[in-house]
Structure 1
């Protein structure tokens, strides 16, 4: 269906809106071109629905347009989330402008929201790869001993990188096998620490930290740099990067990779989602639920490769 078949009132409204974006809002030619194409498709949709002017449009018309964007039709292919989002933003802007100009008495697109972007699944390492990473730093020099303890603590607790670099010596209770982490908003949580991490931490505190501390000014920080000061977040990043290179790992690995792996391995092992939420320090369980998608994805892979009638 050609745009020329749309009612003149609809075409005029869109033309006036685009002129407003061009002249008064100074929208870039590229964006303006995209908006024009999106709104032309919207006019085709409204014409098929029998609408002759914006005042006749209902909220359902806008909602059906969003569905058509994602599903496609006889004349258009389905749009990606980002493109569909842009089209909905253009339509919402048109109706908001029409209300401000007195062309309509109600903004029927106000309650229609752009599609949410698909959540990117966190990349979790398998247990064997994590082990290779943790054992990569050499254990025959102070820096390597420190780096191994740092990596072990990150994986054992699922902590954010700043939560580990912010640790003081007294935050770790080796006897109770726990650590106090200070998360976002200064909220503290008590997290258990595994025996391998405690062993690596003890080796660092006995064999490496005293030497680093003599070069500093008596900071209570747990992890120290070569000058005896608290290890920075950037330096901790470098520890992980160097360990990955030493272990021969080609995939991109960050501090959050160990946090993702921590959560995924717990859920794979049968841990309750609410427990994992508490350990990670998430304010909402909704944030933690993304890790369940990772485990479901793993289950699908296992099913596809193992079940005789999976295909």
Structure 2
């Protein structure tokens, strides 16, 4: 249910812009969060204007919101997306009432569907080993770019080696430190403390946490920084960014996601897709290995322990499956 073609009147769009400014300036919400709020609120405002011909927020009633909700159900939009949109709308109307844009809050009685609690796909340790070994030969084929220069190899070959080395850093760090993909691409070189093997990470809500990484990640990071980053670096574009794109600018979320999506697909024996699969995997492996739940919560940067507890369900489900397969009287 999209209303992108409908031109939203200023009487609806301006309060949305003011609300987004409030979230940005006073609540410090991330750009990803702001984009999600903007999409959700513009979907509602487009529906109100194009379908119900309402052009003022103080004219909106609970019946209008329920009609919007029914349209999303008919369009077979996922329960998770619907729940997020309703949360965005309820927060907006609460702000609008507080700021006297509306007198009564029509969203108070709007009920969101329960979110789908699907257990995430988790990679086995053997699959992780294969994933992190991919492209290792290519990344190591020219261990030192200076050697390539001495042999007068084409510049394209040097760039290919550099991209392979960068992709290995992406996979290693996602698994080593359980980072969100947005956190990974936001890393700067000074965020790395090699003496302690830790990363300084700016997470959701602009909260900073320090997370560890292991020796394999240290090795690929060192190779990248000492040998390959300089191949892609651009004096005007790179700055302190740890991970660079082919043109020298900071690697973006889409590009990093494509790297992992391709790598997971190439495994051929997993339903796991996208970089969040590695975050799911490291959380589950830590808990399987006996890590404390609250330590894993801090490691992942979860605001709520309930979010981290999802991975205990994954561990229990894996145990149940193993029991069913192996126990004589299962």
Report the TM-score, using the length of structure 1 for normalisation. Answer: 0.62
Closer, same or farther: CA 296–191 of 1 in aligned 2, 3 Å: same
Which position in structure 1 is the counterpart of 2:201? Answer: 181
Which position in structure 2 is the counterpart of 1:133? Answer: 131
Q: 1:154 aligns with which of 174, 182, 188?
A: 174
- Report the alpha carbon displacement of residue 288 of structure 1 after superposing the two structures with TM: 0.5
Which position in structure 1 is the counterpart of 2:217? Answer: 197
Check whether the contact 1:216–1:227 (CA below 8 A) recurs between aligned residues.
Answer: no
Name structure 2 gaps, 5 residues minimum. Answer: 1-62, 74-78, 80-107, 142-160
Closer, same or farther: CA 218–143 of 1 in aligned 2, 3 Å: closer
Check whether the contact 2:257–2:275 (CA below 8 A) recurs between aligned residues.
Answer: yes
Residues 62-107 of structure 1: CA distance to partner in whole angstroms, max 9, x if unpaired?
xxxxxxxxxxxxxxxxxxxx8xxxxxxxxxxxxxxxxxxxxxxxxx
RMSD (CA atoms): 2.9
SS at match of 2:287: helix
**Alignment pair present for 1:268 and 2:288:** yes
- Report the alpha carbon displacement of residue 118 of structure 1 after superposing the two structures with TM: 4.5
**Alignment pair present for 1:142 and 2:167:** no
Which position in structure 1 is the counterpart of 2:250? Answer: 230
User: More deviation in 236-245 or 164-173?
Assistant: 236-245
How many equivalent pairs are there?
211
SS at match of 2:201: strand
Check whether the contact 1:163–1:181 (CA below 8 A) recurs between aligned residues.
Answer: yes
Bigger CA radius of gyration:
1
Which position in structure 1 is the counterpart of 2:114? Answer: 116
Check whether the contact 1:136–1:247 (CA below 8 A) recurs between aligned residues.
Answer: no
Which position in structure 2 is the counterpart of 1:166? Answer: 186
- Report the alpha carbon displacement of residue 167 of structure 1 after superposing the two structures with TM: 0.2
Residues 29-71 of structure 1: CA distance to partner in whole angstroms, max 9, x if unpaired?
xx69x9xxxxxxxxxxxxxxxxxxxxxxxxxxxxxxxxxxxxx
Residues 124-155 of structure 1: CA distance to partner in whole angstroms, max 9, x if unpaired?
11111112112213313111011001110010
User: More deviation in 237-246 or 191-200?
Assistant: 237-246
- In 2, Cα distance between the equivalents of 1:199 and 1:131? 15
- In 2, Cα distance between the equivalents of 1:250 and 1:118? 21
Residues 99-120 of structure 1: CA distance to partner in whole angstroms, max 9, x if unpaired?
xxxxxxxxxxx99x78734411
Which position in structure 2 is the counterpart of 1:37? Answer: none
Name structure 1 gaps, 5 residues minimum. Answer: 1-23, 35-81, 83-109
Which position in structure 1 is the counterpart of 2:239? Answer: 219
Written as runs of structure 1 = structure 2, the 5 A alignment for 1:1-311 is 116-137=114-135, 138-139=138-139, 140=141, 141-214=161-234, 216-249=236-269, 251-310=271-330
Check whether the contact 1:221–1:230 (CA below 8 A) recurs between aligned residues.
Answer: yes
- In 2, Cα distance between the equivalents of 1:124 and 1:26? 38
- Report the alpha carbon displacement of residue 293 of structure 1 after superposing the two structures with TM: 0.4
Which position in structure 2 is the counterpart of 1:47? Answer: none
